[in-house]
Amino acid sequence: MEGLTPIVKKVAQLMSGIIFVYGIYIVVHGHLTPGGAFAGGIILAGAFILLILAFGSEVIRLKKEETGSSITESLSILLTLILAIGGLFIGTKVFFNNYLPKGEVGELISAGLIPIYNILIGIEVAAAIITIFLALVIFKEEEEER
Amino acid sequence: MEVLLSVILGFMIIGAIYALHANDLLSAVIAQGIVGYGLVICFLHLKAPDLAIVQIVVETITLIIMVAVVLDSSRKEIKEKPGFKGTINIIAGLIFIGFLIYFFYMAINPLDTFGEHALRMSETYVEQGAQKTGAANLVTGVLWDFRGYDTLGEATILFTAALGILSVLRLKGKK
DSSP B73-138: S--BPP-----HHHHHHHHHHHHHHHHHHHHHHHHHTTSPPTT----HHHHHHHHHHHHHH--SSH
40-69 of B, contacting A, C-beta below 8 A: 49-50, 53-54, 57-58, 60-61, 64-65, 69
Cβ-based contacts under 8 A for chains A and B: 132
Tens of pLDDT, residue by residue over B84-134, are 888 899 999 999 999 999 999 999 888 777 667 667 777 788 888 777 777
Is B97 part of a structural domain of the chain?
no
State the pTM of this model: 0.80
DSSP conformational letter for A95 = T
The ipTM assigned to this model is 0.78
Is B173 part of a structural domain of the chain?
no
Is B148 in Cβ contact with A39 (below 8 Å)? no
Question: Closest Cα of chain A to B113: distance in Å?
Answer: 27
Cα–Cα nearest to A65, from A139, A144, A134, A137: A134
Tens of pLDDT, residue by residue over A21-37, are 999 998 888 888 888 88
Is B132 part of a structural domain of the chain?
yes
* Residue B77's pLDDT band (cuts 50, 70, 90): low
Contact between residue A42 and residue A121 where contact means Cβ atoms under 8 Å apart: no
Is B2 part of a structural domain of the chain?
yes
Is B8 part of a structural domain of the chain?
yes
Question: Closest Cα of chain A to B23: distance in Å?
Answer: 25
Q: Which residues of B touch A42 (CB under 8 A)?
A: 54, 57-58, 61
Classify burial at B84, counting beta carbons within 10 Å of its beta carbon; exposed 0-12, middle 13-18, buried 19 or more: exposed
Identify whether residues B122 and B68 lie together within a single domain: no
Question: Closest Cα of chain A to B32: distance in Å?
Answer: 20
Q: Indicate the average pLDDT of chain B.
A: 84
Number of domains making up chain B: 2
- Predicted local distance difference test score (pLDDT) of residue B13: 92
Is B100 part of a structural domain of the chain?
no
Q: How far apart are CA B159 and CA A39, in angstroms?
A: 16
Q: In terms of CA atoms, which chain A residue is nearest residue B150? A: A96
Residue B46's contacts (CB-CB under 8 Å, 6 or more residues apart) are B5
Identify whether residues B73 and B138 lie together within a single domain: no
Identify whether residues B69 and B123 lie together within a single domain: no
Q: What b/e sequence results for B91-101 when a residue is b if at least 16 CB atoms lie within 10 Å of its CB, and e otherwise? A: eeeeeeeeeee
140-169 of B, contacting A, C-beta below 8 A: 140-141, 143-145, 148-149, 151-152, 154-156, 158-159, 161-162, 165-166, 169
Identify whether residues B8 and B56 lie together within a single domain: yes
Q: Where does a domain end: B77, B107, B139?
A: B77
Q: How far apart are CA B119 and CA A93, in angstroms?
A: 28
State the residue range of the domain holding B50: 1-77
- Predicted local distance difference test score (pLDDT) of residue B173: 59
